[in-house]
Amino acid sequence: MNLCEQTENKFIELFGVEPQLFKAPGRINLIGEHTDYNDGFVLPAAIDKAIVFAMQKNEGNLFRFYSIDYQEYVEFEKVELLEDAPFWSRYLLGVLAQMQKRNLHFEGVDCVFSGDIPLGAGLSSSAALESGFAFGVNALFDFQLESIDLVKIAQKAEHEYAGVKCGIMDQYASVFGKKKQVVQLDCRSNTHQYFPLELKEDIFLLVNTKVKHSLASSAYNKRREECDTAVEYFRKYYPNVTALRDVTDQMLNEHIGKPDALSFQRALFVVNENDRVVKATQALLEDDLQYFGELMYASHQGLKELYEVSCDELDFLVKETKKIPEIKGSRMMGGGFGGCTLNLMKESFVEDFKSQITIKYFDRFGIKPEFYLVNIQNGVESIKTC
């Protein structure tokens, strides 16, 4: 039984009616890390790991949710957080709360969902949960919200009900993703362009380090402070600078090491990374995956040396790929200090690589990595039939 059938059958078992079906994908970010909160560019894509929703209106003005993966059922009479409610329900309630703030009227909603997005791997399962549920509620009640509205509702739900001050990229990719296309998102204007991605004999493989170092959250906040320090410094000399997006190579060359060594390093990385996103889209237009892979390696090098958000496990996995001609590029993906590496390689080499790197990684760290093959797919959509 596939994911869709399982979700649909459970809904009918619980609620006794036929549901409408929706699907929302996770995402990868091909290049453009830590640029989002600097008003820069990112290059995400929706993937073929997703959450499936079975949903329907109910006449009881109740909000009844069931998570197949957690095997938990919750029921609410109104949209409010209850202390003993499971954490996953916050994402759904958060979406409804944002719709209420827009003065949208809805009755009760029944929802059963299940997914195959690996949890904790940096593939944005929470964004898929929010985006897919928002899409479903919009369809059920015919609110006719635009896609960008669904993105903003999903993001705000995570901010206010889940307590995570995320950027907009994850929800954006889940909603706007397209098969065989990547999304160049401008994080200043929240607008995007599509670029073609024809992998042919290649594929993306994620390698999960299975670690998450405790530095992650404190270092993230520190990096944001250092970026802000650099912005304040450059604004004194260039009044048009409101974010590191506005800083140029020439500005950096005229102020080497300023305002301090660390803030300068962070600014240099962000300026370079934005440039790499632009070059990466050009490489896709020219069907030059070899150069695209080189940009991935350069991104990781910057994240390791200039932004200092990598770790031994990530560095080891990336370094090992450089010895292998079948691999075009590799880099850490996400906030850093653990999580996954993203690898562009020949599909025919995947099984050999998994065998080799499992042994080497276990010998070095005593951990068996996990692997996820991903293909680029459409964003959130209705499913007509399982």
Answer yes or no: are the C-beta atoms of 93 and 129 closer than 8 Å: no
Catalytic annotation on 170?
yes
Question: Which residue out of 36, 39, 170, 202 is catalytically annotated?
Answer: 170
Answer yes or no: are the C-beta atoms of 277 and 42 closer than 8 Å: yes
User: How far apart, in whole angstroms, are the C-alpha atoms of residue 70 and residue 86?
Assistant: 9
User: How far apart, in whole angstroms, are the C-alpha atoms of residue 284 and residue 382?
Assistant: 29
CA 13 to chain CA centroid, nearest Å: 33
3-state SS assignment for residue 353 = helix
Q: What per-residue string of b and e applies to 130-160 under the rule 16 or more CB within 10 Å gives b? A: bbbbbbbbbebbebebeeebbbbbbbbbbeb
User: How far apart, in whole angstroms, are the C-alpha atoms of residue 42 and residue 30?
Assistant: 8
Answer yes or no: are the C-beta atoms of 204 and 28 closer than 8 Å: yes
- Residues in the chain, total: 386
> Rounded to the nearest 10 degrees, what angle do helices 88-101 and 125-140 cross at?
40
Catalytic residues: 170
